[in-house]
Structure 1
């Protein structure tokens, strides 16, 4: 399969423009197979690829599909940042307010030209939260290789589902975060057994200091993600759920262990239906189409 034009976007770069998660973005071809799409993700040398569909979904959203080298994803946060950044570069506008259709859901997006890049925000929607069963937590924490001193003294693990569920695992500090060396085969098996995307190991933000995190998702072919925006939104929902506040806003730094420093922003709000979140990041389009 020949893809005529592939743009690489560094999604969720740090405030100084460094790093970000390299994401391939291309116009989808209705004649392509899913195997073709997985092959593009591998050939582009990026962990994820976004495929921009033609036209509009019946509800008005622009279709976007996301693939890794091994699977299609029902959603991808940093991929959404990348996709919306590319769409804005195809216009002469300073801002693009739109809607995206991915994984059977349509949601609001906004992309804004900034001096340092393109700032993108999207509505993540409701995030479902539950406590893991003892066997779930034990199997996943064991696969992560955490020592007895690594867990956070006050925060507890939570399963959060902004669509696909994942385990949020708090550790005490950044040193403990850097020490995490998961047994990837064992972790992939455990995630498949319990129907989880992966594990988001994090240090909570404190005051004005950003949090830090690493996302491991070997079950979908991503040993470690440079930046996982959806998990950052899930974390915002979890942190809000543990407080009496009505809203919360966080920043979580990621990607340092991979040499791609990244930063994801997220906010969460209580509403009649539950906790809803918005997720954002700054994107740098390497070669605008």
Structure 2
């Protein structure tokens, strides 16, 4: 079934989906437009700016063999990004909800890759699992002191000396910064231009600040991305995947990790990541917050 066919000319249906959430107004809000084949790149970017969410996802016909749907994702600043995170998980949850996809899964085209999507529907609860592909981890050419200076606003931020900063990527490269405690995570108050300079030097897009946690979660996290206009993101799957692989490499998590993010924003999100020989798999559920129609 092709999503969105039959829409009047110039009109495009959309949904706002709260990703990594069991109820509306929690998790990470994502706008999804399912009938986007006729939209130009400029229109997609403008629509994303209009929604002003961290990301907006457009579902189009695939161009790669074996893919069921293609996804294109734009930030609130109009920048196109890749990587299978909340941008993809929420879109697939909505495709399953409207009957355009279903168990056991499908294949998505995203950021020049084709990746498996896993769908489970139990008692009308839809759970989506996204294979993120291999994880790339590297030592960045920035010092911990440079990172701390960019993150410290009022309260000082202390690094975790056992885990120096690394970059990690499953399609989008982020700087992973371990700090001493959840209190240090909450103390992070980055100055956007300073952090953007550190990220540019590290070859990274965003900054995932985390500490190890002992409250049923493996890490407590926050994400800042001034390079694409995201002051803070409630849930970032493209950072959580590399972090799980990084902590797994150090023996600090098992094959499954659970991270709490967004709590400082009042949008608590729990991200579950499985570390596999092929890379990482991101799993979550969603809640529907709104539906409507664009007039373009």
TM-score class normalised by the smaller sequence = 0.7 to 0.9
Which residue of 2 is the match for residue 140 of structure 1?
Answer: 147
Q: 1:27 aligns with which of 14, 24, 34?
A: 34
The structure 1 segments of at least 4 consecutive aligned residues displaced by more than 6 Å after TM superposition are none
In structure 1, C-alpha distance between the alignment counterparts of 2:54 and 2:252, rounded to whole Å: 37
**Is the deviation greater in 143-152 or in 38-47?**
143-152
Residues 1:120 and 2:116 are matched in the alignment: no
Which residue of 1 is the match for residue 3 of structure 2?
Answer: none
**CA drift at 1:10:** 0.3
In structure 2, C-alpha distance between the alignment counterparts of 1:116 and 1:176, rounded to whole Å: 40
CA deviation profile, 1:135-182 (whole Å, cap 9, x unmatched): 354433321127766212433221112122211111122111111000
Count of aligned residue pairs for this structure pair: 282
In structure 2, C-alpha distance between the alignment counterparts of 1:73 and 1:184, rounded to whole Å: 19
Q: 1:285 to 1:17 in 2, by over 3 A?
A: closer
Q: 1:2 to 1:213 in 2, by over 3 A?
A: farther
CA deviation profile, 1:103-132 (whole Å, cap 9, x unmatched): 111111123335584321111111011122
Residues 1:277 and 2:284 are matched in the alignment: no
Which residue of 1 is the match for residue 112 of structure 2?
Answer: 104
Which residue of 2 is the match for residue 188 of structure 1?
Answer: 196
Which residue of 2 is the match for residue 64 of structure 1?
Answer: 71
CA deviation profile, 1:13-62 (whole Å, cap 9, x unmatched): 1x677611110000253442322212212222422101001256323342
Which TM-score applies when normalising by structure 1? Answer: 0.87
CA deviation profile, 1:252-272 (whole Å, cap 9, x unmatched): 111112221111100113x3x
Identify unmatched segments of 5+ residues in structure 2: 1-8
Matches within 5 A, 1:1-289: 2-13=10-21, 19-55=26-62, 57-70=64-77, 71-91=79-99, 95-114=103-122, 117-133=125-141, 135=142, 137-145=144-152, 150-206=158-214, 208-243=216-251, 248-269=255-276, 271=277, 276-287=279-290
Q: 1:204 to 1:116 in 2, by over 3 A?
A: farther
In structure 1, C-alpha distance between the alignment counterparts of 2:193 and 2:100, rounded to whole Å: 47
Which TM-score applies when normalising by structure 2? Answer: 0.85
In structure 2, C-alpha distance between the alignment counterparts of 1:93 and 1:102, rounded to whole Å: 16
Contact 1:118 1:284 in 2 (8 A): no
| 3-state DSSP of counterpart to 1:185 | helix
In structure 2, C-alpha distance between the alignment counterparts of 1:120 and 1:90, rounded to whole Å: 14
**CA drift at 1:287:** 4.5
Contact 1:88 1:96 in 2 (8 A): no
The alignment yields a C-alpha RMSD, in angstroms, of 2.7
